[in-house]
Amino acid sequence: MRHRLRDPITGLLFVLPMLVLFLIFKIFPTLGVAGMSLTNWNIGGEWDFVGADNYARLVNDANFWSSLRVTLVYAAIYVPLVVLVSLATALLLNSVVFLRGLFRGILFLPYVTSFVFAGLIWRWIYEFDGLVNGVLAKLDLAPVAFMERSELVLPALALVSCWKGFGYSMLILLAGLKAIPGSYLEAARVDGAGPWQRFRSITLPLLKPALFFVLVIETIASFQVFDTIYVMTGGGPAKASYTLIYGIFERGFRFWEFGYAATWGMVLFAVILIISLIQRRFVGRGNT
């Protein structure tokens, strides 16, 4: 019995420091927010237990449903875009022979920049006298108000977030590509398989675990977008970029309704969990 328990106990001791940090900074705050969502918590720390009243209020809150729709639309734009860009750049880097490290560093550089800095730069790019409209003027085309048009603001913001965040997913996918045995691709090449056939039949299936991981983390990132919206649009125009996280920020730090903001947070947690489970069911099945 002691021999059988030795390895699990040894493994537990190795992960114990990170497990303690995970409990302190992840699990306990989540439980605290769940409890706060059942109260009327104010800025002074005083609270009254209200039960499910906050959830009943949320069901009838038009701002919540509007922000949920905006968040889902943003995620539907951002996630496919960032996954495709990350996969394309990873494939290109995997085929580069010279100066691979330099190109990798250049492509990863936006990821380590500040979201606020990126938002300020891109807000200037999108302005009437900015870079994009300057190019359009040279081509004798009419300027486009990216930040003032409801139908364009979410694609514009998704492009900014993609530019800012694709570097991390690119490295994950690049590591997955490096793990694919070269003998598989060489054998397929000898058998006459073209580039697309090798990618579809060998690269993509073997890359599926890394692709699933990227899909999950980018989906979570899309539902947690805040910095870019705060800097560039403030939730406008006409709440066209008013996401769930921005709504939580307003409820908590503008209206001081911490209990109600926690209710929004718990619903956001549930939405992310459900979508992650759906992705696990249809994309990550059989993958570690």
- Taken in order of first residue, the domains within the chain and their CATH numbers are 53-282 (1.10.3720.10)
Q: How confident is the model at residue 286 (pLDDT cuts 50, 70, 90)?
A: low
Amino acid identity, position 138: K
Q: What is the mean pLDDT of residues 38-51?
A: 83
* Angle between the N-to-C axes of helices 258-282 and 244-253, in degrees from 0 to 180, rounded to the nearest 10: 160
**Are the C-beta atoms of residues 169 and 79 closer than 8 Å to each other?**
no
Residue 222 structure tokens? 């899309």
Q: What is the pLDDT of residue 117?
A: 85
Interior angle at CA 276, CA 76 and CA 252, nearest 5: 75
Mean pLDDT, range 235-242, rounded to an integer:
90
The pLDDT of residue 266 is 93
pLDDT at 83 over 60: yes
Cβ atoms within 10 Å of 154's Cβ, excluding its own: 22
Q: Tens digit of pLDDT for each residue in 148-194?
A: 888 999 999 999 999 998 999 999 999 999 888 888 888 888 888 88
How is residue 84 written in tokens? 């495709």
Q: Which has the minimum average pLDDT: 20-34, 97-111, 219-233?
A: 97-111
Confidence check: pLDDT of 70 > 60: yes
Least confident of 189-193, 208-212, 215-219, 254-258: 189-193
More confident residue, 191 or 32: 32
Burial status of residue 222 (CB atoms within 10 A of its CB: 0-12, 13-18, 19 or more): buried
Q: Does the pLDDT of residue 4 top 90, yes or no?
A: no
Region of 45 on the Ramachandran plot (φ > 0 left; ψ -120 to 50 alpha; else beta):
left
Judge whether residue 2 has pLDDT over 70: no
**Averaged pLDDT for residues 238-265:** 92
- State whether the Cα torsion 27-33-34-35 is positive or negative: positive
Q: Which whole number is the average pLDDT over 55-80?
A: 94
For the cut 80, the answer to whether the pLDDT of residue 97 exceeds it is: no
Give yes or no for residue 15 having a pLDDT over 80.
yes
Q: Which two tokens mark 41?
A: 């918590």
Percent of the chain scoring above 90 in pLDDT: 42
Residue 287 has pLDDT above 70, yes or no: no
Q: What is the 3-state secondary structure (H, E, C) of the chain?
A: CHHHHHHHHHHHHHHHHHHHHHHHHHHHHHHHHHHHCCECCCCCCCCCECCCHHHHHHHCCHHHHHHHHHHHHHHHHHHHHHHHHHHHHHHHHHHCCCCHHHHHHHHHHHHHCCHHHHHHHHHHHHCCCCHHHHHHHHCCCCCCCCCCCHHHHHHHHHHHHHHHHHHHHHHHHHHHHHCCCHHHHHHHHHCCCCHHHHHHHHHHHHCHHHHHHHHHHHHHHHHCCCHHHHHHCCCCCCCCCCCHHHHHHHHHHCCCCHHHHHHHHHHHHHHHHHHHHHHHHHCCCCCC
Q: What is the pLDDT of residue 116?
A: 84
Model pLDDT, residue 223: 94
Beta carbons of 125 and 135 less than 8 angstroms apart:
no
What is the per-residue pLDDT for 5?
Answer: 65
